[in-house]
Amino acid sequence: MFLQNIATLTAGLTVFPDAFSAAVAKNEFTISLAQWSLHRTLRANKITNLDFPAVARKEYGISVVEYVNQFFKDKAKDKTYLADLLKRCKDNGIKNHLIMIDGEGNLGATPKEERQKSVENHYKWVDAAKYLGCATIRVNAYGQGDPKDVQNAAVEAISTLGEYGKKAGINIIIENHGGSSSNGEWLHELIKKVNMKNVGILPDFGNFCIKRATGDLYSGKCLEEYDRYKAVQMWMPYAKGVSAKTMEFDSAGNCVETDYIRMMKIVKNAGFNGYVGIEYEGDKLSEAEGIRATKVLLQRVAKEIGYTVK
């Protein structure tokens, strides 16, 4: 009977290999390090972007990294620089996962000329990502005006960028990054309208403020916030990465603002087996302490919910 069951299973795998892969994948994820976790250290020139791969490996025992283009803004087309960075990655056993793109214009801009310029500004980062062996670039879908108009503009821009990324074998993913993009339904509808396999979402556990008293995207009292658990549940089918944002920890090492048991169960139940990027952004712990605390939290939560950390 045992041998018969094995034969039946093997035959099934021949016909449905993807189903088997999905079943195995459902219980695994890999921890990566988002460079923004070290933004104060980088801005203070204590380390440079070129140092980041070695720091990730030697200081934190992490072998997958996520860059922020702000820290090598003028180097997207500099092959000498990129070759040096790539060599440092290889020397330290580092895998490059993605580049987070900021400051290249608004992909949700309603004026067509402004929007097209933003799309073109992103092309060089698609090329840089391909050169560095990344799978993905993270973009923003910000724009000013009526949310529906901004969404329609972003659909057009991201579809165009998605086509460019498709030719290069690079994913284009949108992060919930303030304003309408932090609204679960708005971003979900945008992705469905784009409807491209290489275009997805980077759910960030901490960015769900839609409107602030200051009118600013990132600073000021939040007046309207979307339910983070509802949003992540909605977005996970389109996730090509997850951003494990942390700000503050309690005495037991739990994240104060996000219930990680609940959130990681959502991620696990979606069958996600990709990269969960540590993004510590608090100021009560040092950056180094915050990164380590987030890593320990992810490892502990994974053990509690039966989710394997690769």
Q: What is the pLDDT of residue 19?
A: 38
Measured distance CA(69)–CA(99) in Å, rounded: 6
Instruction: Identify whether 224 is part of a domain.
Output: yes
| Model pTM score | 0.90
For the chain, what is the domain count? 1
- Letter for the amino acid at 64? V
Instruction: Identify whether 18 is part of a domain.
Output: no
Beta carbons of 248 and 1 less than 8 angstroms apart? no
Measured distance CA(282)–CA(248) in Å, rounded: 6
For residue range 276-299, list pLDDT tens digits in order: 999 999 999 999 999 999 999 999
Beta carbons of 77 and 54 less than 8 angstroms apart? no
Beta carbons of 291 and 33 less than 8 angstroms apart? yes
Measured distance CA(85)–CA(89) in Å, rounded: 6
Instruction: Identify whether 7 is part of a domain.
Output: no
Measured distance CA(243)–CA(185) in Å, rounded: 19
Instruction: Identify whether 16 is part of a domain.
Output: no
Instruction: Identify whether 5 is part of a domain.
Output: no
Q: What is the pLDDT of residue 219?
A: 81
For residue range 175-227, list pLDDT tens digits in order: 999 899 999 999 999 999 999 999 999 999 999 999 989 888 778 898 999 99
* C-alpha R_g of the chain: 20
Measured distance CA(48)–CA(33) in Å, rounded: 15
CATH number, domain with residue 258: 3.20.20.150
The overall average pLDDT reported for the chain is 92
For residue range 92-116, list pLDDT tens digits in order: 999 999 999 999 999 999 999 999 9
Determine the average pLDDT of the residues in 250-255. 98
Residue 24 burial class via C-beta count within 10 angstroms: exposed 0-12, middle 13-18, buried 19 and up? exposed
- Letter for the amino acid at 19? A
- Single out the residue of 190, 264, 265, 273 nearest to residue 239, CA to CA: 273
Question: Phi and psi (nearest 5°) for 158?
Answer: -70, -30
What's the domain range around 259?
Answer: 28-309
Q: What is the pLDDT of residue 17?
A: 40
The answer, yes or no, to whether residue 16 has pLDDT greater than 70, is: no
Residue 12 confidence class, pLDDT cut points 50, 70, 90: very low
Q: 32 forms bridges with which residues in the sheet? A: 277
